[in-house]
Amino acid sequence: MSRQYFGTDGIRGTVGQAPITPDFVLRLGHAVGRVLKRQQDNPVVLIGKDTRISGYMLESALESGLNSAGASVLLLGPVPTPAVAYLTRAQRASLGVVISASHNAYPDNGIKFFSAQGTKLPDDWELAVEAMLAEPPQWSDSAALGRAWRMDDAAGRYIEFCKSTFSSHLELRGLKIVVDAAHGAAYQIAPKVFHELGAEVVAIGCAPDGLNINAGVGATHPEALVRAVLEHGADYGIALDGDADRLQLVDAGGRLFNGDELLYLLAADRLAHRQAKGQARGPELAGVVGTLMTNLAVEQGVRRLGYEFVRAKVGDRYVLEELHRRGWILGGEGSGHLLMLDRHSTGDGLVSALQVLRACAASGRTVAEQLQSVQLFPQTLINVRLPPGQDWQKNPRLADETRAVEAELADGGRVLIRASGTEPLLRVMVEAQDGAQAQACAERLAAVVQAT
């Protein structure tokens, strides 16, 4: 059975258009509640959201749907996605739900789910919910309806959790840090975390109005962070996205570091920490998981550290699945989704930032100094629109040209061609040590697609 509603990270779309409508979300809540009721008698579901104006409407619909199936609800208010994952686990809840469209603009919204262990749910669970959506509703009678409460201290509990992941003998005193919360879910939380660890905080992107989430700020628009760091003479800048599960970091010189580079830094730091304590590398540090888009220079650098390196499909969900499969703890993608399973069960922009700053404090070296041995290869990405019905995988000319480009690049680059999961586009990416070569090779491949 193929999924009709669930994508790679829950259900997402434009508010007011199917499926992001209040009637569907009520049905979704009812279906989820019925699936939970099959597993336990009195399920409790945590619901958090970001700062989009549509969150109020969808929260009410979801709450009603869950209650109608006999599931009780604990409302967290605006909190980051990883806060919902943490609190679901800490509260021993049955399920965690996040109402957010992450880095998308405010007209979009979405719904994603976490298991009782604070992890993304498997395909089988999503298929069970979709099958339940196809059945007529079975409303619980009055005595069996669920209830709803609000958790007033959700933000405070999560702040303390974030701080607990930072070494107790270290602090951020003496650092000036610009914190950009993208006018999103961490707008109150993120500045407090860094301030309570001793940093002087300059907050930007922390004034949501329901319509400005991710608008010119945050991890998807790091130029605002770069300007603020330089303007205020800050030591670092931390940018999160709308639901605060991804990170972009800027240093005092205005240099932006992406998730690929930070993944290498975290891997090197974990190894150095073990060596400093005279500890052997455990099996959980045998390897690192990236994605198909992870920069080749990072893969080579990670291998030089003695790690295995495995590529998963694009999306933090697939990175997490691969980590669980192999029993490893470190993974991530260039967009800033970083996974450290010894710190949290899911990607967390705040926890990731704290781990990077901890590595700097422990080593006495800046981020740039720790990344001197890794120079990212230039990447060229060209999106080519596919005509209806074209099977690019059976295109012999494209296959021949791809082999020719790969032979030309040899060990100094790579080719990745993949279809978009949301649009009729073919994404052609070439990576090479020479940027002009990457551009020329990508254009050759794109031209073959366009000519057929």
- Give the C-alpha separation, 364 to 236, whole Å: 15
Give counts: helices (H), strands (E), the chain: 14, 18
- Told to judge if 102 belongs to the known catalytic residues of this protein, a careful annotator would answer yes
How many Å is the Cα radius of gyration of the chain? 23
**How far is Cα of residue 126 from the mean position of the Cα atoms in its chain?**
19
Give the residue from 29, 40, 109 showing the smallest Cα distance to 67: 29
- Determine how many CB atoms are found less than 10 A away from the CB of residue 255: 15
Residue type (1 letter), 233: G
Question: Do residues 46 and 81 lie in contact, with contact meaning Cβ atoms separated by under 8 Å?
Answer: no
What are the distances in angstroms from CA 241 to CA 114, 309, 334, 373?
Answer: 19, 27, 14, 28
**How far is Cα of residue 136 from the mean position of the Cα atoms in its chain?**
34
The residue annotated as part of the active site, out of 100, 102, 115, 352, is 102
**How far is Cα of residue 196 from the mean position of the Cα atoms in its chain?**
25
Ramachandran sector of residue 262 (left: φ over 0; alpha: ψ -120 to 50; beta: rest)? alpha
Question: Do residues 430 and 441 lie in contact, with contact meaning Cβ atoms separated by under 8 Å?
Answer: yes
C-alpha neighbours within 13 Å on the C-beta side of residue 141? 1
Residue 19: is the preceding peptide bond cis (ω within 30°)? yes
- Give the C-alpha separation, 45 to 30, whole Å: 12
User: 236-240 and 176-180: which strand pairing?
Assistant: parallel
Give the residue from 114, 178, 176 showing the smallest Cα distance to 348: 114
- Give the C-alpha separation, 107 to 101, whole Å: 9
User: 95-99 and 44-49: which strand pairing?
Assistant: parallel
Q: Which residues are catalytic?
A: 102
